[in-house]
Amino acid sequence: MTRRRFLVTAGTTALALALVPSFPFAAFAQDATVDVGELMAPGPLPEKALGDPNAKVTIVEYASMTCGHCAAFHEKTYPQLKADYIDTGKVYFVLREFPLDPLAAAGFMLARNAMGDKYFDVVDLLFEKQRDWAYSDDPVTALRTLAKQFGYTDATFEQTLSDQALLDKINQVRARGSDEFGVNSTPTFFINGQRHRGAMSLEELAKVVDPMLAG
């Protein structure tokens, strides 16, 4: 889905999304460790997180709603990660927005504005149904249909996707990830500050997390 194709399809919902910028990526080492204090400092938007904030291990994921590798991680790895590590208090999990295109930004905007603090429910559904909406000939109609499951009306859907202030903050989250922490692809994970790129399997995560829990 090209930016132009999405904007033409979106119609009035493109009011804010037309202004999604592109960011130059800074050059950083492939695998590195960032300062955890800086990584966890308050950003432009409230954190969307699960688990015990005092857990021994913190995982921060930078993701894009239209990224196939992100969808694969959330389908294959995330459910067991949540059951074995997050829900048991071993890991504090933070999801941060890194939209790679306007359509990904739209998905995050809908998740942020969903009634009843349903952020992760919306994210889970959009990853599960990614091929149904992100690769649709009419992605906006597909998104609108999915959003109705979370109480969106046509009016609130349009209002959300025209919220320039929210879009600006999502873009600031992305820019901070790129400029300060070297994120240049999705998904990118920071495990107690250690950067890991790509859709990690549970086994790969466990090799990093378990020694931190034991230490």
pLDDT by position in tens, the chain (length 215): 333 344 434 444 444 454 445 544 444 445 689 999 999 999 999 999 999 999 999 999 999 999 999 999 999 999 999 999 999 999 999 999 999 999 999 999 999 999 999 999 999 999 999 999 999 999 999 999 999 999 999 999 999 999 999 999 999 999 999 999 999 999 999 999 999 999 999 999 999 999 999 98
pTM of the predicted model as reported, rounded to 2 decimal places: 0.89
CB-based contact 126:65 (threshold 8 Å): yes
Dist. CA 55–CA 213, nearest whole Å: 9
CB-based contact 20:99 (threshold 8 Å): yes
CATH architecture of 3-16+29-214: 3-Layer(aba) Sandwich (3.40)
Residue spans of the domains in the chain: they are 3-16+29-214
CB-based contact 96:60 (threshold 8 Å): yes
